[in-house]
Every structure is written in structure tokens, then in C-alpha cells.
Amino acid sequence: MLKLDVFDRGMARILTIGRATMQIQREIHNMTPEQALACLSLIVAHGKKSLIVSLKKDGLSAEMADLFTTELQSRVNKDTLFSDPHFEFALRLATTESILDTAVREGPLKGMDWQDLFLMQLLDIFPKEFAKRLFTHELRRIEEDKTNGRNPVPTNETHKQWLQEVMDAAVGPVVTSPYRKTDHKGTDSWMVACPKCQTEKRCFAKTKRFQCKNRKCDFDQPYPFQPAS
């Protein structure tokens, strides 16, 4: 997993948090649903504790994290969380982090069941029943990967690519708020059809590898594609 300071830099680049509740609401209201989904993906991947650290660095209380995650959820279609490749990858990163926390690292979480910890992390962010749905969805995906001979653990390379893509998506075509000045520029992106199954996926200038988001398709090649010889 990437270090926490990477998350901090990402959040600092994506958001300039205000000093009051109304300011946070304005910040998120000015996001597109795609930006809100990308920010929510970052929080799920690295845990609500990472969001709290970022908020405290900006002089805000930990209690603001609840408002922040609730407002983000209000900006997205929750049904998309079960199919969006960036969010699904965030769930996988969260499960990997849970396994490391309970099996590898020293501390109070060592020896705890990783599934219990993963569910706790989701409950920190989402309403109870919806968190359970996400939990069941991710466990099912892990079993599918194992059954199909795919390694369920993300590599550092795919993690870095995901982080770049999700940060680019979060910055996106920001709508400038009268309460916040931003120098962020939109990032060009385009839809590319999988050569094997024709499922479309968003790509960016920095995309180095095309992994089809259709779980039934195993297409995975460097991007841009090389012309057939």
C-alpha cells in the first residue's frame, strides 16, 4: 500500500477545505458527481482516519469528517458504486489494508478478523445497511477472482495508476466557487472501447495500462495500444 502522505497530497490537490460547515457544503455542491465519486473512492481506499488527519491539518475538527462523507454520498448515484471500476478498486485496496492491519502490522488490530475490520471501515463511512451491501459485494468479487485464477491483491503499479486516474477525475472540470479560488485545470479524458469485449473505459493522458473494467473480460495490455504488425 502507498504511504499515508500520498493520500494527504492527493486530498490537498483535490480539495481546499473551508473553515465552516457551510463552506464544506459549498465545496461539495460545486463538484460534479464524477468528482464526488473520485473523492469518495479515495476515502474508502485509505480509510476515514486518513480523511480526519487531512481535516485536522486544515484546522478542522474530526467531527467534520461525518459531514464531509455524507455530503459526498449525496452527490453520487449509489448504484454506480457497485460497477464503477475506480470505486471497486478502492474497495479492494481497503480489503488489502484490513488484511495488513490484522495479520502483518503490530498494534491493537493485530489478530483481529480482517473481514470484521473491513466492515467496520465501511460502517464508518456509509449507513449500516448500505455498508453491508458493499461488504458482501466485495467479498463476492474476491471469491470470483480466486475462482478465475486472478490474484485479488493489487500490485503497486496498478495502485499508482489508480491513484493518478482517480485524482485526475476528482480535479476534473472544477466549477469555480465564489467562496474559493482554485487554479486547478480540467484534465482531458476520453472513452476507449476494450478491443476484446467493447466495454468502454475512461482513459487519461497518463494512462499506461488498459485493464478492462468488465470482470468477465481478461483484457489487460499496455496503453496506448500498439498497432497489429
Residues of the chain with pLDDT under 70: 1-26, 58, 105-106, 172-188, 227-229
Please name which of 93, 53, 48, 86 lies closest in space to residue 67, comparing C-alpha atoms: 48
C-alpha closest to that of 73 among 109, 122, 19, 140: 122
Give first-to-last CA distance, the chain, whole Å: 38
User: What pLDDT, in 10s, does the model give residues 20-78?
Assistant: 455 666 677 778 888 889 889 999 998 888 888 877 776 777 778 888 888 889 989 99
Sign of CA dihedral 99, 104, 106, 108: positive
Q: What is the pLDDT of residue 88?
A: 93
Judged by phi (left if over 0) then psi (alpha if -120 to 50, else beta), residue 122 lies in alpha
Please tell me the predicted confidence (pLDDT) of residue 19: 42
Cβ-based neighbour number of residue 204 at 10 Å? 16
Q: How many other C-beta atoms can be found within 10 angstroms of the C-beta atom of residue 69?
A: 19
pTM for the predicted model, two decimal places? 0.65
State the pLDDT at residue 214. Answer: 76
Q: Give pLDDT, residue 17.
A: 42
User: According to the model, what pLDDT value does residue 227 have?
Assistant: 66
